[in-house]
Amino acid sequence: MSPREEVDVPSGRPAAIPTPAPGDPRLARLSLNQWTTRHLGVAEAVDGCARSGIPAIGLWRQQVAEHGLAEAAKLVRDAGLHVSSLCRGGFLTAAGAAALDDNRRAIDEAATLGADCLVLVVGGLPEGSRDLAGARARVAEAVGELVPYALAAGVRLALEPLHPMYCADRAVLSTLGQAVDLASRWPSEAVGVVVDTFHVWWDPEVIAQIARAGERIASFQVCDFLVPLPADVLLGRGMMGDGVIGFRPLREAVEAAGYTGFTEVEIFNADVWAADPGEVIATLVRRYVTEVL
């Protein structure tokens, strides 16, 4: 197929550039977050990365469990893929011992996979509660309980601030500054932060807070912010270039802060999920080059 015939998904817009081929140096820091191609198992996603020249993958626990942990670890290793993150632990605000136990299992899985970090979505307000300060204190306490285990396993926890619209039901960690404040209680190798463009792009402090985060940046995730949001606001994440985010200043700030890891494309979007996964991967490779680099 000539580049002229390639079409981006899900927008249907003509491709702006030919899809970079495997080995193209521009792809050296690109990672596919597995949830972008949600319906692919680990083997298919790994194959998609290998065939497209994407050198890293962000894995999700349920797909890893379906494939088998040891087999998944071997598969990505044999394919020469780097594991840029494991998604995800957290949900600590309603946590009893069971939630902490599940996070310890997630830490073990991240260690087995050799993941750069375990992403933590910290959880929202406990059911029926309006005690936001209390929920935030509980998160700090629970992270503190996990740190020794993570340090012993050699796994870095990555605190992910989520967009404030998810404060009540997903994550009481709402800004990068708040995440850095919290992470700073522990050694940098134990607790870092995630910079996800969707969650932080609006923040008047974001550039300053990325600089402040510095070596705490454990993961950089990109996707666009769609306007209007869909009815399910969890699925408002779009292909880079389909929304309102200017990516370059954010990527440059993350690099200037010293981050040398991968840039993970993580898109939750019903139309992306309905599209052909091969076309999704080709589109994100092109858009990464034209919108993010």
What does the alpha-carbon distance between residue 107 and residue 152 come to, in Å, rounded to a whole number?
A: 10
Minimum separation from the CB atom of position 82 to a second copy (A): 30
CB closer to a second copy, 152 vs 256: 256
Angle at which helix 97-113 crosses helix 132-153, to 10 degrees, equals: 40
What does the alpha-carbon distance between residue 52 and residue 257 come to, in Å, rounded to a whole number?
A: 29
Residue selected from 201, 220, 259, 262 as contacting a second copy according to rule CB under 8 A:
201
x/- letters, 109..128, toward a second copy (CB under 8 A): ----------------x---
CB closer to a second copy, 165 vs 275: 165
Bond before 88 cis per omega within 30 degrees = yes
Task: Check residue 40 and report its DSSP letter.
Answer: S
Residue selected from 44, 169, 255, 279 as contacting a second copy according to rule CB under 8 A:
169
Residue selected from 246, 258, 270, 293 as contacting a second copy according to rule CB under 8 A:
246
What does the alpha-carbon distance between residue 277 and residue 83 come to, in Å, rounded to a whole number?
A: 20
Tell me if 168 contacts a second copy by CB under 8 A: yes
x/- letters, 84..113, toward a second copy (CB under 8 A): ------------------------------
261 near 219, Cβ under 8 Å?
A: yes
CB closer to a second copy, 28 vs 208: 208
Tell me if 4 contacts a second copy by CB under 8 A: no
What does the alpha-carbon distance between residue 235 and residue 217 come to, in Å, rounded to a whole number?
A: 25
Q: In this chain, which stretch among 1-9, 31-39, 163-171, 280-288 interacts with a second copy, using CB under 8 A?
A: 163-171
Who contacts 219 (Cβ-Cβ below 8 Å, separation ≥6)? 58, 84, 85, 116, 117, 119, 158, 160, 192, 194, 195, 196, 261, 264
If 0-12 CB within 10 Å is exposed, 13-18 middle and 19+ buried, where does residue 39 land? exposed
Residue of 218, 226, 225, 126 whose CA lies nearest to 180: 218
Minimum separation from the CB atom of position 136 to a second copy (A): 7
Q: In this chain, which stretch among 93-101, 115-123, 139-147, 159-167 interacts with a second copy, using CB under 8 A?
A: 159-167
CB closer to a second copy, 43 vs 168: 168
Q: In this chain, which stretch among 44-52, 215-223, 225-233, 281-289 interacts with a second copy, using CB under 8 A?
A: 225-233
What does the alpha-carbon distance between residue 58 and residue 194 come to, in Å, rounded to a whole number?
A: 13
CB closer to a second copy, 187 vs 249: 249
Write out the two tokens for 76. 């990505």
Tell me if 229 contacts a second copy by CB under 8 A: yes
Q: Which residues bind a second copy (CB under 8 A)?
A: 125, 130-133, 136, 163-165, 167-169, 174-175, 177-178, 201-205, 225, 227-229, 231, 233, 243-246, 249
